[in-house]
Amino acid sequence: MSYWIIGLIALFVLAPMIRLWPNAKDRQAMRGRMLAMKRGVGVELTMIDDPVPDQDKYRTPSGLPLPARLRVIALRVRHKQLVDEKTRPPDWVARRVGTGANTRAIPQGVQIDDWRLSFEASRAPKSAQETQLADQIRLTVARLPASVVMLDWANRALSAYWEENGQEEEVTLICDLLESLLEAHRS
């Protein structure tokens, strides 16, 4: 009888610890994050406003609305040099809005396939260099995987907001595109 009691106690102690061990999906996600970190790309778990907020997943079982917040991984590369305020590239954001999105919830901007690109209000691209940068942004967002929902440039940082699926090939592609776009911001 005492062996049964000892076995049950051990089961109650070890079961929660075993449940905390990462499963295969968690290990695969961590490999992708480590791959990005090895390349010098910052990885941050964050929440953003969903670019396509009118979805049934933002309702409680009783039908009440929930805030349209999306849990994503922010892959971020920083511009190392200090940028003069007069010569800095304009801040911008590109959101994947889909083709039939609710347009009143999305800021105005240039539509590129299922992306909406908008620049900060006071600094739309004016010079030839800034127009070339806007073209580079358009080319980059066209090549991003479908799991990237937003891309932005703010505070000398280029960020891609990714719905993590653990595929290392996607992490590599996103990091390559971020680095090439950062080079366009440096020139």
In a domain, 12, yes or no: no
At 29 the pLDDT is 87
The confidence score (pLDDT) of residue 61 equals: 85
Q: Decide if 103 is inside a domain.
A: yes
Give the separation between CA 34 and CA 168, rounded to whole angstroms.
10
Residue labelled with tokens 């791959």? 35
Contacts 24+ apart (CB under 8 A), 114-122: 115/141, 115/142, 116/51, 117/92, 117/93, 117/141, 118/92, 118/93, 118/94, 119/90, 119/91, 119/92, 120/90, 120/91, 120/92
Q: Other CB atoms closer than 10 Å to residue 95's CB: what's the count?
A: 25
Q: What is the pLDDT of residues 72-97, one digit of tens each?
A: 999 999 877 656 666 667 788 888 87
Residue 1 within any structural domain of the chain: no
What range defines the domain where residue 77 resides? 23-186
Is residue 94 in some structural domain? yes
Decide if 9 is inside a domain. no
Question: What residue type is assigned to position 95 of the chain?
Answer: R
Q: How many domains does the chain have?
A: 1
Output the pLDDT for position 101. 46
In a domain, 175, yes or no: yes
Q: Is residue 8 part of a domain?
A: no
- 15 part of a folded domain: no
The pairing of strands 115-119 and 92-96 is antiparallel
Mean pLDDT across the chain: 80
